[in-house]
Amino acid sequence: MQTDSSFTFVLFGGTGDLSMRKILPALFEAHRAGGMLADSGKIVAVARHAADRGEYIQWVNEHVKPHVSKNGVDETAWSSFLGRIEFVKIDLGNPEDFALLRDAVKDLPGIRVFYLATGPSLFVPICRALASVGLNENARIVLEKPLGYDLKSSNAINDAVGEIFAEEQIYRIDHYLGKEPVQNLLALRFGNALFEPLWRREWVESIQITIAEELGVEARGDFYDNTGALRDMVQNHLLQLLSIVAMEPPHSMDSDSVRDEKLRVLRALKPIDPLNIGKVAVRGQYHAGGIRGNAVPAYATEPGVKPNSTTETFVALKVEIENWRWAGVPFFLRTGKRLADRVAEIVVNFRAVPHSALGASALRAGANRLVIRLQPNESIRLYCLAKQPGEGMNLASVHLDLAFDQFFREGQMEAYQRLLLDVINGRLALFVRRDEQEAAWRWVEPILNEWKASNKPPKPYAAGTWGPAAASAMLAQHGTCWLEEEN
């Protein structure tokens, strides 16, 4: 991915956790690779916790450098990367300080990208302050999640930002869309004649999408207790992955063609019936337990969490898509904290053969399935049935690995690296359009409202397990179970 696009990348929240762990390391990897970033491109960090550029560079050396390059740091590349970085000390609560930013970037080259790695409460004030000094013109703005608390607040932010930046200037980032296996899912579906005829209700029995975390809320107890798993993970990550799995083939990979097809899926989601919510939606909250031999506390005792909190840390949903391709096929979504493993994957369960001419062992061995693993080890694996060696026709499940690291010598690109390059180069396909976001909130909100109105506490589950038993029971009603493999 070569580029001649000159740029000025302005990073708000330049000393924040996201900048430290993801954004600056991703920009360094693009710089180190050579040719991905124009030589004239500059990075302007904005923060108030450093006095000047020298102090900020010291912070970058101390906090960012440990997060870059798994195989060690190329000191020559690192030194030249630091040469790209400028620093502006700004109090984001003081709009007059933005004149300092205007003066700092006025002679810097290329397209201006403003990345808001801040809390959502600062999105609108920052955008208005940028407009007050004319920095919104011919620029791109990147908004991190969460973008609002519900449909109303999301629309309020989008309305305010939309008064300052045009829709084609706004990049709403969801890093799951930048992961290599998600890109390979698009290639698998739309670049091969093999799978597309099978990618429909006649041949697919069910689909599972799981994003499981071993971690708890860490130092984000106060934020998480006012958010919960449905808002934090389902409304964005899981529904975006679902829309890519289920979308119709776009006529091209340009930004609006892809996002138009995702939007059609989101608008086709069958609304959740409040009277039936207990059968299709499970929410849970972790209690004390153990993760890899270490005792961990209950959610209610985490710092920043209210002792009697009813916030969900686990959600499992049965989702249906009311269109010609997917009618009758259940999509099972699952996400949670303090689960038994850290894994994100998509499982496509194909239907069993209509008649087994090979005997009972074929039925016991199960049906075909395709597993797209997003993390921690990214892979695509196709499970088929094969004859076991020896006498008789005894079948067993075997798998074919799509081992990309063996076919391609280049290392896989991290999600943030791909997405940041897309922003710099003006590619919108992997970013969430406003109408997509509204459709997702519109589908999620009745679930939030029903849970709030019912006053029923979340179902408990011990940390280190796969969540409440009700989540497994929901799948058992459909004659299936969650795929829970060891990494």
pLDDT one-digit tens code per residue, 63-109? 999 998 766 788 999 999 999 999 999 998 888 999 999 999 999 98
- By residue range, what is the domain housing residue 263? 177-412+434-476
CATH code at 92? 3.40.50.720
Within-domain flag for 371: yes
The pLDDT value given to residue 115: 98
**Tally of CA atoms within 13 A in the half-sphere of 144 that contains its CB:** 20
Same domain, 182 and 59: no
Total number of domains in the chain: 2
Helices (H), 353-403: 360-365
Q: How many CA atoms lie within 13 A of 341 on its CB side?
A: 12
Residues 62, 204 within the same domain: no
Strands (E) across 227-330 are located at 281-287, 289-291, 294-296, 314-319
CATH code for position 290: 3.30.360.10
Burial-class residue 79 by CB neighbours within 10 Å (0-12, 13-18, 19+). exposed
How many Cβ atoms are within 10 Å of 213's Cβ, its own excluded?
19
**Which of 49, 237, 287, 355 is the catalytic position?**
237
Q: Is 237 a catalytic residue?
A: yes
For residue 183, what pLDDT is reported? Answer: 85
Kindly state whether residue 114 falls inside one of the protein's structural domains: yes
If asked whether residues 220 and 361 sit together in one domain, one would say: yes
To the question of pTM greater than 0.85 for the whole model, the response is: yes
Judge if 188 and 313 occupy the same domain.
yes
CA-closest candidate to residue 169, choices 144, 145, 137: 137
pLDDT of residue 72: 76
Same domain, yes or no: 248 and 346? yes
CA distance 376 to 224: 23
What are the CA-CA distances from residue 169 to residues 6, 96, 424 (Å)? 17, 24, 11
* pLDDT at position 365: 58
Helix locations, 6-74, DSSP H: 17-18, 24-33, 53-59
The 10s digit of each residue's pLDDT in 329-386 is: 999 999 999 999 999 999 999 998 877 777 666 666 578 999 998 888 778 889 988 8
Among 144, 168, 189, the domain-final residue is 144
Please identify every stretch of the chain with a pLDDT value under 50, giving residue numbers as ranges: 1-2, 486-487
pLDDT of residue 148: 87
132 and 185 together in one domain: no
DSSP conformation class of 14: T
Q: Domain boundary at 144, 169, 200, which?
A: 144
